Structures are given as structure tokens and as C-alpha cells.
Structure 1
Amino acid sequence: MCYIRDHMQWSNEEEEAARKKVKENSAVQVLLEEQVKFEREASKYWNIFYKIHKNKFFKDRNWLLREFPEILSFDQKTEEKARESSWDHVKNSATNCFSRMYCPNVPEEKSHYVKSSGSSEGQSKTESDFSNLDSEKHKKGPMKTELFPGSNASFRILEVGCGAGNSVFPILNTLQNSPESFLYCCDFASGAVELVKSHSSYRAAQCFAFVHDVCDDGLPYPFPDGILDVILLVFVLSSIHPDRMQDVVNRLSNLLKPGGMLLFRDYGRYDKTQLRFKKGRCLSENFYVRGDGTRAYFFTKGEVHSMFCKASLDEKQNLVDHRLQVNRKKQVKMHRVWVQGKFQKPLHQTQNSSNMVSTLLSQD
């Protein structure tokens, strides 16, 4: 039987043991020619991974909204609060029934969805045909010279490295009553994208899944720069070669609109995954290759800060999440370590310049 304890701090002895283990398992590195092969054929290894495991390997990330409420648009946050308030009213009314032996008519909870459901249906008809310029929205506003998936949306999210959709579908389930929101999701493994598009919960009216290699700076996205409200980068950057990470983050920063948020979560230094690697699996410092050819890097809080600030983003959150997993039966303790951050694109260029100057000064 396993149990988990959150926000655990390591003792000096535990941290020293982890440091020693990493030093041991990185003493022998993979040959350079092999490293080149893993880099060149990265998409091949991930395609094999999804061909074998399909959508059964990872669990749905139902924790996303708890950690990243920024995924919701302002209107949807307001609606969620109103719904919670209405539900509290329903519960209070039901409680009063027993105390007063009388209960007034309480509207059914589903009545709060009537307006949203109608809007969602209308959005489906609009988004399914990007060439339709006769909607009321286009008649009232300026004519768009170029349409793209999600061009009619007012709140846009991109998930980078969507895999089989373990973030996509929890998000889509939340957005189904928010027709103004649109979700883009991409992966460079075509097999993963096909799994997303073939899923029964995939809705082309509110989601666009596409194959994309974020390391290819010359490869255009299916939408313009500067239009995204949120970018989700969860357990993805760690699979990219450290030498290419900064360029990837810089490019993603360009996709955000002023005030847009990049939400990050990934492996932290000395996570149990890093400690489990055997000798001969290390590619470079804190960067490893698994037996199936996929790779993983393990970050520090400082590295994350430096990378996103260099991309001209303001740090709103940057923390190390320590958790302890204990298998009582086997008497084994395992430390999980993740780094989580929220980084915002400045509203004005002056803020942007000031942020860059302060970052450079801190490095001197």
C-alpha cells in the first residue's frame, strides 16, 4: 500500500544521498554518435511509445485546473463562481427544508447551463467552417483578411506536447460550456496526434490538434503570433535537448499576447526518476535516455527562472514541489520533485525592457 505526503522537505542526509546517486549514474555517458541518433530520431521513439501504449500509459491530469486556474477565461471563472454559489444556495435550501418542514421550489442545477449550451451549439456551426464570413460577429466587427482554426475565439489556449490527450480532454470537458474559448494542441509524434483526434471526446469545433516540432524554428504554427492567452508546457521541455530549450521558450513567448501566461510543470532535480537511471544512460549533465529511446532532463528552480526571464517573460510563480511516496509493504520511500512556474508576457514594451535589464544585472 502506498501513501503520499505533500510539501516534504529533505533532510541534509537525504539530499546528500541523492546527489551521490546522480554522480554515480552519470559517471558513464552515452557515446556521442548514439546521442546524435537519439536527437535525430526523437519523434520515431515517441511514435513507437504511443504505438505500444496508446492512451493507456498516463493518467488524465484532472489536477490541472487546481494548479492552473489561468486556463479558464475571465467569463468562465465568473460562471464557475456563480455556479458554485448557486449550488451552495441549493444545499442551504435543502438543509432548511428539514428544519422548517417546508421547502420552496428550487430550480434544477441544469438550468444554469441552458444559455451556455445554446451558445456552444452555435459555436460548433461557426467553427466547423472557417470560410463562413456571414456570422453576426463578422458583420459587426472588421472583416478578417485571413481565417485560421479558432479565429472566432476570444480566449485561446495551446498545449505543447499533448501526447495522447491526458490534458486535452480534462480541459475540453471544462470548456464545453465556454464557446468563446478554443484549444490548440500539438505533438511531434504523429501517432499521438492521431490518438487525440480519434478520441470520442474530441470536438473540432473547439479544438485543433496538429503535428508540430517545436524545435524547428522555421516551421509555422497554424495561427498568427501574439494571439494566445495561455500556453501549457507540462512535462514536455524535459524531453528536449538542453541546448535547444531556450530557443523553444523564446518562440513560445512570441505566440503569447500581452498579458498572456505560460504555465510550466516538469521534473525537478533529484526526482526519483533521475535517481533510478543506471550507469550508461546519461547523455549529459542531468539529461538521460530511457530504455525506449525517450529522454528526460531534470531542472532546478534557478534554471527555470533564467530560461523564461531570458524569453522576456515576467515570473509570477516558480516553486519546487516536493512529495514523498511511501510503499509500506516494501518499506521503500521515494521522493518526487517537480518544478512549477507561471510566467506572464508584459503588457507593455517598457516592462519588457526593464525585465531584461534586471535579469542581466542579476547575472553579473
Structure 2
Amino acid sequence: MPSKQTSSVREASFSINEQFGGRILKKEEQVFEQNAWDHVEWDEEHIEYAKQCIEKQKQNPVAEVEKYMEQPASFWDKFYERNEGNFFMNRRWLAQEFPEIMEALKEDAGEKRIIEVGCGAGNTIWPILGANKNPQLTVFGVDYSSKAIDVVKETPAFQESDIVQASVWDLAGSTLPENVEPESCDIVILIFCFSALAPEQWEQSISNITRLLKPGGLVLFRDYGRWDMTQLRAKGNRLLGDNFYIRGDGTRVYFFTNEELENVFGSNFAVLQNGVDKRLLVNRKKKVKMYRCWLQAKFQKKIQS
């Protein structure tokens, strides 16, 4: 199986191009020859299947919606109490998908401030620290789960570093994170974070992100796309609202479209990338196909005249 040396993301409006993800399925009869394929377009059969799944979910929504809306951080606290730092792998693909981060880590990059919102157990922070050569770098990790921040602070890499700060912060709250001044950050990282918010929290969250960033600063975004396998597999009593679900552990997840992302970030941001990563994973032994869909975007805060 060829190694994945290039990005699997393509712009939502682009045609398939082999210069991005290298594992291209050209003939359907070859589908079970590899474990994964990039840039796979959904056929009519899969689209119809997805629609049927969504309609079925609507027949059996969550009965106690308020339970999951009032204190959503408590479910993430329980998650990190169970899993600590062992659930997610370090994101070693950052350099490939977000080279802007690597530019900030260069020795001569100058003063740079990066904040990851929804940092979890630090699986983005640790690769950044490992690659950093910039003596003027500051990294902030924030999460609304206090247990996640405890995990970060207990990690030797955090304790041995003088450039990382970690604190509890609610992206949809009314204040900025501890020790972070308005318009002081060069990069805001949102990786599988925004999907945990309820749609009614988006506006305040974008306002806070705008306040964090310097003019010209970047938002680097990756999250779940509409009709991802995990959305279609959601069982009964999981649907909170349109395309918004609870997992079995009570944590929430929303599945986006590219158009929604552009609308959510609104007029204060220029769209540098708004791409989709559609992959087909296959179980060759059982002859099962599994369609994954993630969105990846880069937004730049406009410099107001």
C-alpha cells in the first residue's frame, strides 16, 4: 500500500487531483486491494443510504435534551477521568496539513503565540513542542474540561516546558482565557473541537475567536463532515437536533458542511481553504466499506481598514 505523503484534503469545489492524497481508486473492482482510498466520491447508493439513516434517526431523537445542554463539560470530565491521555494519538500529521504551524516554529520566526482551543490531553501541543526551534514561541492549551487540563499539566512535557500554559476555558463563554490578551494570538487551532458546541453557541464562539486573533491571524480548523460514517451509525436516542448528536458517553458532536463553515465564520474572516477529506476505509476480510468525511479549513482574520 503506498504511503500517504500528501494531503488528503481537496477544496470543496476542486476536481480530484492526484497531487493531494495519493491513494486513488480508479476501478471499483480494486476497492478491496487496499485498506483506504482518498478523494472517494459517494455514489448514488451511498447517498440514498445516508438519507435513510438520517430519516430513521429522526424517528427516535434524544428524550432528555436538557441533560446534555446544561453541563456539557461534565461528560468530557468523565471521558478524561476514564481515558486520561491514552485515547487519542499525537497528531503527527500537523506539518503535512497545516504547514503554517511549522512556519511559526522556525528559529527565526520571531514572537509567535499559538492557542489550541479544545486541547484535550495535549495531542496537538506535544508534536508542536517536539518540532519547535523558536525561542520566542508561546503555546496556550485551553479546554472546558478541567480533567483534560489536569492531564495536560501532569504530563512531563508540560512540566519541563517554560513556553506552554494550560487553563480551563469555555469557548462559548463571555471572557477570554487566562493570561491571553485580546488580539494577541497568531494562530487559533480548532481540531475536532467546534463540533462539541451546540449551534446556538457558534456566534459567541466565533466572537471570542475573533477577539483572540491579531489582525491577519489564522484559524486552522479540522472537524467532522456531514454524513461521516460515525453520523450514519448513530443509534436511536442519539439525535439532539439537525446533524447534532450525543455519543454513548454523553459527549456531543455536530457534523458540518463546507457552506455552513463559511457562513459561521462570516464577514470578519477571509477563506483561505475550505476543503473536504473523503476517504473510503475497507475491511478486506469482511468486504465492508466505511465512508469517512472530515472538513478542513483555514480562515484569516481580516485587517480592518
**Pairwise same-fold verdict (TM > 0.5):** yes
Q: Which amino acid aligns with 1:294?
A: T
Is residue 19 from structure 1 mapped to residue 54 from structure 2 by the alignment? no
Residue 309 of structure 1: CA displacement?
Answer: 2.1
**1:174 alignment partner in structure 2:** 131
Identity %: 40
Residue 221 of structure 1: CA displacement?
Answer: 3.8
Contact 1:26/1:281, CA 8 A, preserved across alignment = no
**2:220 alignment partner in structure 1:** 263
Q: How does 1:212-223 map to 2 (within 5 A)?
A: 212-218=169-175, 220-223=177-180
Bigger mean CA deviation after superposition, 20-29 or 227-236: 20-29
Instruction: Name stretches of at least 5 consecutive residues in structure 2 with no aligned partner.
Output: 1-31
Deviations 1:47-85 (A, max 9, x none): 110111111111111001210111134571879xxxxxx
Higher Cα radius of gyration: 1
Q: TM-score, normalised by structure 1?
A: 0.71
**1:315 alignment partner in structure 2:** 271
CA distance in 1 between counterparts of 2:207 and 2:41 reads 33
Residue 198 of structure 1: CA displacement?
Answer: 1.1
Residue 246 of structure 1: CA displacement?
Answer: 2.0
Structure having the higher strand fraction is 2
| Pairing partner for 2:79 from 26, 49, 62 | 49
Bigger mean CA deviation after superposition, 201-210 or 269-278: 201-210
Give SS of 2:151's match.
Answer: helix
Q: TM-score, normalised by structure 2?
A: 0.85
CA distance in 1 between counterparts of 2:177 and 2:193 reads 19
Deviations 1:132-171 (A, max 9, x none): xxxxxxxxxxxxxxxxxxxxx7100000001011111011
Contact 2:104/2:134, CA 8 A, preserved across alignment = no
Instruction: Name stretches of at least 5 consecutive residues in structure 1 with no aligned partner.
Output: 80-152, 351-364
**1:346 alignment partner in structure 2:** 302
Contact 1:73/1:155, CA 8 A, preserved across alignment = no
Q: Which amino acid aligns with 1:65?
A: A
Contact 1:42/1:294, CA 8 A, preserved across alignment = yes
Contact 1:309/1:315, CA 8 A, preserved across alignment = no
Is residue 190 from structure 1 mapped to residue 222 from structure 2 by the alignment? no
Relative to structure 1, the CA distance from residue 295 to residue 75 in structure 2 (aligned partners, 3 Å threshold; closer, same or farther) is closer
**2:247 alignment partner in structure 1:** 290
**2:23 alignment partner in structure 1:** none
Q: How does 1:119-268 map to 2 (within 5 A)?
A: 154-175=111-132, 177-202=133-158, 203-218=160-175, 220-268=177-225
| Pairing partner for 2:60 from 28, 32, 37 | 28
**1:103 alignment partner in structure 2:** none
**2:234 alignment partner in structure 1:** 277
**1:61 alignment partner in structure 2:** 91
Residue 227 of structure 1: CA displacement?
Answer: 0.9
Relative to structure 1, the CA distance from residue 18 to residue 75 in structure 2 (aligned partners, 3 Å threshold; closer, same or farther) is closer
**1:112 alignment partner in structure 2:** none
Give SS of 2:106's match.
Answer: helix
Q: Which amino acid aligns with 1:283?
A: L
**1:114 alignment partner in structure 2:** none
Q: Which amino acid aligns with 1:67?
A: E
Residue 201 of structure 1: CA displacement?
Answer: 1.4
Q: Which amino acid aligns with 1:37?
A: K
Structure having the higher helix fraction is 1
**2:36 alignment partner in structure 1:** 4
CA distance in 2 between counterparts of 1:45 and 1:75 reads 34
CA distance in 1 between counterparts of 2:126 and 2:177 reads 25
| Pairing partner for 1:328 from 284, 288, 294 | 284
**2:24 alignment partner in structure 1:** none
CA distance in 2 between counterparts of 1:252 and 1:75 reads 22
Q: Which amino acid aligns with 2:36?
A: I
Give SS of 2:35's match.
Answer: strand
Contact 2:105/2:131, CA 8 A, preserved across alignment = no
CA distance in 1 between counterparts of 2:260 and 2:56 reads 22
Contact 2:77/2:148, CA 8 A, preserved across alignment = yes
CA distance in 1 between counterparts of 2:288 and 2:107 reads 41
Deviations 1:2-31 (A, max 9, x none): 711111111122122112212212322212
Is residue 303 from structure 1 mapped to residue 239 from structure 2 by the alignment? no
**2:69 alignment partner in structure 1:** 39
CA distance in 2 between counterparts of 1:59 and 1:220 reads 25
Bigger mean CA deviation after superposition, 260-269 or 7-16: 7-16
Bigger mean CA deviation after superposition, 240-249 or 66-75: 66-75
CA distance in 2 between counterparts of 1:216 and 1:244 reads 9
